[in-house]
């Protein structure tokens, strides 16, 4: 497999994996992707597992990627154990376990394919987010990254108005649309999409809740994204007993849905 | 763990597992749950894995259940290999691999919890399907089960009008709402919900396509269902290159969302 990414960019450098044996990879959990609330972002953790799976599976593009977030990962060395469940002509599926100090911290299962070879029909009953151009939008963080929330040094967000919860006035509507991109100019690719579906803020913050933790996230990757800003739409419709789903769509600069994810989250009171 | 189901019913008898060693279960893939297109229904395959996970994990209710369908299972004996990723006070996660002749046929990962102990807020921005009472609806199969599609002996469907594709006139709208229940009177419970989200027909049939195969399905279980018919809503919004998602909601007879799933399917030309 040809690695089309480049170590010049933070996302690639911070998700590098080194094969150290049959189905074993060494990696380092970076301190550069910490989320609101502290600790590495779930999407970043998933990106580490996905990188090892991309090396182990024969097809170039993730199609379905699921992650379970079992324990808060620590910054520092980790090992990823990978096994291949099935490697077929069109689809290949494998599992990855992120291990620290002998404990499983996160688990991923992914099916890879070659999206360039997808030949079936296309019929989309949805529209991309309607947003002013990124340069006409507000930077979500005009004063720079949030202290301690290091992912805000890596990812930029633009939207017409700041979300209510950021202004101290939660809107009561658990949905939002915004632009997103890597801050260092790295263009999006298929490996970036599933992780980026977890790089926003929980839209339940606009219900006035304090935080949410991700139990599980599954992303579907539909197409290789065009360069440029990514338009995102995030929605929660069902909060029950403190559990909620969060649906995340990513549309590329050419107006195509390139990924969608759903996660199961647990509200933090 | 107390098994509240009963072997009198087909769903329970046909998903029975026997512990034969540390993390090893014996089971039999029944011929009674074959789907449109032939071979065991993916939801039934998932139910086998879920049953072994329910035995291995300490909490009673599946919260998130994902399944990957790797090869068509054969009717007959199979083994399920289960391992526990993390067993915590509130959540426990494990993996299951369904094996036949030494090959992995399907894989599941699930997080279990105790839904009766869920204490957080509830805020639902969605409504149950608006359907006439089941007794005022049409039986989808008034002439009895479809030959060879044995799942139609196990599950009953009611809706106001038959879907277009069944009348030879696909509606062009990939969405539907209907009632569903087990045909033998077994009431729904938490173990039935994730499998039943795969027990309908692919709504893309109303786009005029011939069939769809499931690559992956993730279900979220939100509550223990009340007895009675289940109201279902199924939607596909994005078909691209032959891949499509299918979103499935199940509402119980008390009008509560009790489960939702999303699957990634591949159209069969």
pLDDT tens digit string along B136-162? 999 999 999 999 999 999 999 999 999
* CB of A266 less than 8 A from some CB of B: yes
% pLDDT > 70, chain B: 97
B147: how many CB neighbours lie within 10 A of its CB? 7
pLDDT at A134 over 50: yes
Task: Mark out the alpha helices in chain B (DSSP H runs).
Answer: 10-13, 42-56, 151-154, 190-196
pLDDT at A5 over 80: no
Contact at CB, A63 and B120, closer than 8 angstroms: no
pLDDT at A2 over 60: no
- pLDDT band (50, 70, 90) for residue A232: very high
Interface of A with B in 216-245 (CB under 8 A): 216, 218, 220, 222-223, 236-243, 245
Residue B200: both structure tokens together: 């309908």
Interface of A with B in 142-171 (CB under 8 A): none
pLDDT value at residue A7:
67
Stretch A11-36: mean pLDDT, rounded? Answer: 97
pLDDT value at residue A6:
65
- pLDDT band (50, 70, 90) for residue B6: low
Handedness of CA B162, B168, B171, B173 (dihedral sign): positive
pLDDT at A166 over 60: yes
pLDDT at A1 over 80: no
Report the C-alpha dihedral over residues B8, B10, B13, B14, rounded to 10 degrees.
180
Q: Which domains does chain B have, with CATH numbers?
A: 4-115 (2.40.160.210), 136-268 (2.40.160.210)
Nearest to A241 among B85, B91, B115 (CB): B115
A to B CB pairs, distance under 8 Å: 167
Stretch B185-208: mean pLDDT, rounded? Answer: 98
Q: What is the Cα–Cα distance from A226 to B190, expressed in whole angstroms?
A: 42
pLDDT value at residue B10:
97
pLDDT value at residue A111:
98
Mean pLDDT check: name the lowest of B50-54, B142-146, B200-204, B222-226: B142-146
pLDDT value at residue A38:
86
Please report where in the chains the tokens 């189901």 appear, as a residue.
B5
Contact at CB, B215 and A115, closer than 8 angstroms: no
Find, among A134, A158, A265, the residue nearest to A211 by Cα.
Answer: A265
Nearest to B257 among A70, A125, A238 (CB): A238
What average pLDDT does the structure give for chain B? 96
Contact at CB, B111 and A68, closer than 8 angstroms: yes
pLDDT at B235 over 60: yes
Query: Complex ipTM, two decimals?
Result: 0.96
Residues whose CB is less than 8 angstroms from the CB of residue B49 and which lie 6 or more positions away in sequence, other chains included: B67, B80, B96, B97, B98, B106, B107, B108, B110
pLDDT value at residue B210:
93
**pLDDT tens track for B114-125:** 999 999 999 999
Please report where in the chains the tokens 């996970």 appear, as a residue.
B53
% pLDDT > 70, chain A: 97
Find, among A225, A200, A226, A189, the residue nearest to A12 by Cα.
Answer: A189
A-chain residue closest to B242, CA distance: A120
Tell me if B24 sits within 8 A of B13, measured CB to CB.
no
pTM for the predicted model, two decimal places: 0.97
Contact at CB, A266 and B120, closer than 8 angstroms: yes
Stretch B20-24: mean pLDDT, rounded? Answer: 98
Tell me if A214 sits within 8 A of A69, measured CB to CB.
yes
Find, among A264, A119, A135, the residue nearest to A204 by Cα.
Answer: A264
Residue B132, CA distances (Å) to B140, B151, B187, B254 in order? 14, 24, 20, 15
* CB of A114 less than 8 A from some CB of B: no
**pLDDT tens track for B67-95:** 999 999 999 999 999 999 999 999 999 99
pLDDT value at residue A8:
82
Stretch A209-231: mean pLDDT, rounded? Answer: 97
pLDDT at B179 over 60: yes
Residue B266, CA distances (Å) to A119, B230, B240 in order? 11, 27, 10
Stretch B35-39: mean pLDDT, rounded? Answer: 90
pLDDT at B233 over 90: yes
- Chain B contact set for A71 (CB, 8 A): 86
* Residue A55 DSSP one-character state: H
- pLDDT band (50, 70, 90) for residue B2: very low
B-chain residue closest to A261, CA distance: B262
pLDDT at B1 over 50: no
Q: What is the Cα–Cα distance from B154 to B151, expressed in whole angstroms?
A: 5
Nearest to B70 among A63, A93, A209 (CB): A93
């Amino acid at each position: 497999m040809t690695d089309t990414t480049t170590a010049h960019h933070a996302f690639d450098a911070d998700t590098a994996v080194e094969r150290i044996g049959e189905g074993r990879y060494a990696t380092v959990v970076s301190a550069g992707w910490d989320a609101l609330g502290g600790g590495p972002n779930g999407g970043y953790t998933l990106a580490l597992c996905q990188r090892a799976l991309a090396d182990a599976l024969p097809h170039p593009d993730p199609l379905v990627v699921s992650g379970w977030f079992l324990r808060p990962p620590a910054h520092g060395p980790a090992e990823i154990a990978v096994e291949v469940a099935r490697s077929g002509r069109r689809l290949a599926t494998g599992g990855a376990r992120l291990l620290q100090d002998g404990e499983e911290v996160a688990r991923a299962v992914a099916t890879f394919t070659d999206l360039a070879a997808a030949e079936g029909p296309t019929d989309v009953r949805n529209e991309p987010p309607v947003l002013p151009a990124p340069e006409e939008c507000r930077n979500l963080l005009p004063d720079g990254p949030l202290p301690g929330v290091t992912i805000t040094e890596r990812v930029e967000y633009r939207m017409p108005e700041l979300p209510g919860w950021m202004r101290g006035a939660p809107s009561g509507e658990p949905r939002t649309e915004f632009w997103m991109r890597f801050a260092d100019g790295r263009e999006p690719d298929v490996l970036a999409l599933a992780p980026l579906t977890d790089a926003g803020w929980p839209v339940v913050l606009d219900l006035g809740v304090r935080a949410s933790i991700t139990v599980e996230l599954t992303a579907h990757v539909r197409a290789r994204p065009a360069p440029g800003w990514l338009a995102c739409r995030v929605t929660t419709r069902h909060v029950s007993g403190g559990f909620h789903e969060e649906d995340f769509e990513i549309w590329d600069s050419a107006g195509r849905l390139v990924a969608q994810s759903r996660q199961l989250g647990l509200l933090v009171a």
